[in-house]
């Protein structure tokens, strides 16, 4: 049974004739009869240019109605806006506030394909949609046509995407200004930084507000992440259209840009100017590498598994092999990640860190010892030949821990499965 029911009256030409009201009354009564008992959200979508009366607010549009229809409409929430993107995004916020995921859309048959196209852009696989034809059969102009349009053209899809992008660009930043943490060790020939959780448009509590990753398991759609990324590019000064993020596998594979891209990898290296590469993090370490001599750079995602597998040195070795970098020239910055104050592992898994260096583990004899993945990463980098003075650990230097600072960072450990993602990024200036 649907948790939310949406009735699409967007674009329908309603007037004050009695037969129109009777037909609509019949439809809404049927929806109420079948869904009101179990659905937690009943909503009518309409646009501001249908026949309506306004109470001074352009966003509040009430259909001219008979008393019977007017009474019935009070049981439905009405969302009205000239932009379909604005309507659906507002509805998505209301659905997310109630933590609903099963949605029925009752839509005129000729608008079903269009509606699906908007939904594909604004929702993820977290939501389950079913569609039902809006059964209002009148002569005249209530329904424009009775046959379904089965295909959206490339031009129509582009128009939908442009409408969504325009609307998302109009939204204010949440949770404060966009903040980028940088390292003094990295030369100005590079654009680099580590993001925090402020200054984006993501509104879901665990993703708010500067989430930079979308997946089928999260409620943030790609369109929202793209808008957050666009804002980051504008502030940092890179081209968001030339942006590549790692495809995490919690291992040690590295993609050398220009070669065939693997299916998954936890490191990227490049010497191409104007291309921005990024490592994801939400407790795992986003690592940035820079060689100002050979003008090459890299990023790596290092969780506890990747740390033990040596993903940091795998990225260093790729830079040496591909671009002729020297160990003494490579700068490495470890971005915000979970600290040893909050990160535990089962004793069997923590044993490998203890074997690397006992200082990486606290309360080793407990069932779940505390582990310092940043310390382990630094040890492995120094053993691999990176100069100690060329390594910066932002957690240590700035007293950062992603789990301890919910106002600044996302954290998988703290927030659970629907966690947001920050990044470390770098590019060579053009």
> What are the DSSP calls for 112-160, one per residue?
HHHHHHHHHHH--TTSEEEEEE-----SSSSSS-SS------HHHHHHH
Q: How many residues does the chain have?
A: 430
**How far is 171 from 182, CA to CA, in rounded Å?**
27
Helix (H, G, I), strand (E, B) or coil at 216: coil
Percent share of the chain, pLDDT over 70? 89
Confidence of residue 17 (pLDDT cuts 50, 70, 90): low
Under the banding of pLDDT at 50, 70 and 90, the label for residue 144 is very low
Per-residue confidence (pLDDT) for residue 202, from 0 to 100? 98
pLDDT band at residue 395 under the 50/70/90 scheme: very high
Tens-digit pLDDT profile for residues 201-254? 999 999 999 999 999 999 999 999 999 999 999 999 999 999 999 999 999 999
Distance CA(136)–CA(140), nearest Å, equals 12
**pLDDT for the residue 332:** 98
The single-letter DSSP state of residue 421 is -
Within 10 A of 135 (CB to CB), how many other CB atoms are there? 12
Which pLDDT belongs to residue 148? 62
Residue 415 clears pLDDT 50, i.e. is over it: yes
With a cut of 50, say whether residue 351 has pLDDT above it: yes
Q: How far is CA 337 from CA 6, 281, 295, 311, in A?
A: 41, 7, 27, 16
First to last CA, the chain: 55
Convert the pLDDT of each residue in 289-315 to its tens digit.
999 999 999 999 999 999 999 999 999
Are 424 and 194 spatial neighbours (Cβ–Cβ below 8 Å)?
A: yes
19 pLDDT above the threshold of 90: no
Residue 51: pLDDT band by 50, 70, 90 thresholds?
A: very low
Helix axes 112-122, 84-97, angle to 10 degrees: 60
Confidence (pLDDT) at 146: 55
Task: Tell me the per-residue pLDDT of 95-108, one tens digit each, with 9 for 90 and over.
Answer: 999 999 999 999 98
**pLDDT, position 47:** 76
How large is the average pLDDT for residues 22-47?
A: 87
* pLDDT at 36 (0 to 100): 84
What pLDDT score does 50 carry? 38
What integer pLDDT is reported at residue 11 of this predicted model?
66
Q: Where are the alpha helices (DSSP H) in 248-368?
A: 304-309, 311-323, 347-356
Question: pTM to 2 decimals?
Answer: 0.92
The answer for residues whose C-beta is within 8 angstroms of residue 403's C-beta and 6 or more apart is 283, 338, 339, 341, 342, 343, 411, 413, 414
pLDDT of the residue at 58 = 42
Write down the pLDDT at residue 134.
86
pLDDT at site 180: 98
Judged against a pLDDT cut of 90, whether residue 418 lies above it is answered with no
CA 328, 330, 334 angle in degrees (round to 5)?
A: 125
CB 191 within 8 A of CB 426: yes
Q: How far apart are CA 126 and CA 109, in angstroms?
A: 25
Report the pLDDT averaged over residues 33-40.
89
The CA–CA distances, whole Å, from 27 to 8, 20, 32, 53, 80 equal 12, 11, 9, 21, 19
Q: Kindly report, residue by residue over 54-95, the tens digit of the pLDDT.
A: 344 444 444 455 566 677 778 899 999 999 999 999 999 999
What would the pLDDT profile of 367-388 be if each residue is shown by its tens digit?
Answer: 999 999 999 999 999 999 999 9
Q: What is the pLDDT of residue 404?
A: 97
- Ordered domains of the chain (ranges, CATH): 4-49+61-168 (3.40.50), 173-428 (3.60.140.10)
Residue 373 is predicted with a pLDDT of 98
């Amino acid at each position: 049974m649907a948790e939310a029911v949406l009735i699409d009256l967007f674009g329908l030409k309603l007037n004050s004739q009695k037969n129109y009201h009777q037909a609509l009354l019949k439809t809404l009564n049927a929806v109420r009869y079948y869904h009101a008992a179990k659905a937690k959200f009943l909503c009518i979508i309409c646009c501001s240019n249908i026949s309506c009366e306004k109470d001074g607010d352009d966003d509040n549009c009430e259909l001219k109605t008979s008393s019977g229809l007017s009474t019935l409409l009070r049981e439905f929430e009405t969302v009205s806006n000239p932009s379909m993107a604005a309507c659906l995004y507002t509805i998505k916020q209301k659905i997310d506030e109630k933590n609903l995921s099963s949605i029925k859309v009752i839509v005129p048959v000729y608008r079903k394909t269009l509606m699906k196209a908007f939904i594909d852009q604004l929702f993820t696989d977290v939501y389950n949609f079913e569609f039902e034809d809006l059964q209002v059969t009148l002569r005249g102009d209530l329904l424009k046509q009775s046959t379904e349009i089965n295909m959206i053209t490339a031009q129509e899809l582009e128009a939908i995407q442009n409408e969504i992008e325009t609307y998302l660009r109009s939204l204010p930043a949440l949770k404060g200004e966009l903040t980028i943490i940088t390292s003094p060790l990295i030369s100005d020939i590079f654009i680099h930084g580590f993001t925090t959780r402020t200054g984006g448009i993501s509104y879901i509590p665990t993703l708010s507000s500067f989430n930079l990753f979308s997946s089928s398991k999260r409620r943030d759609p790609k369109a929202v992440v793209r808008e957050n990324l666009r804002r980051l590019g504008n502030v940092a000064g890179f081209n968001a259209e030339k942006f590549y993020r790692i495809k995490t596998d919690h291992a040690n594979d590295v993609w050398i840009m220009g070669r065939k891209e693997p299916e998954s990898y936890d490191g990227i290296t490049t010497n191409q100017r104007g291309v921005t590469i990024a490592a994801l993090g939400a407790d795992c370490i986003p690592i940035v590498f820079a060689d100002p001599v050979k003008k090459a750079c890299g990023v790596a995602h290092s969780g506890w598994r990747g740390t033990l597998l040596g993903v940091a040195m795998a990225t260093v070795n790729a830079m040496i092999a591909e671009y002729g970098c020297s160990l003494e020239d490579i700068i490495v910055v470890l971005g915000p990640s979970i600290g040893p104050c909050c990160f535990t592992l089962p004793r069997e898994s923590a044993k490998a860190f203890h074997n690397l260096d006992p200082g990486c583990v606290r309360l080793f004899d407990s069932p779940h010892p505390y582990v310092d993945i940043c310390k382990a990463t630094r040890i492995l980098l120094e053993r691999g030949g990176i100069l100690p003075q060329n390594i910066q650990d932002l957690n240590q230097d700035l007293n950062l821990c992603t789990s301890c600072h919910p106002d600044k960072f996302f954290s998988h450990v703290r927030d659970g499965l629907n966690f947001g993602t920050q990044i470390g990024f770098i590019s060579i200036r053009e």
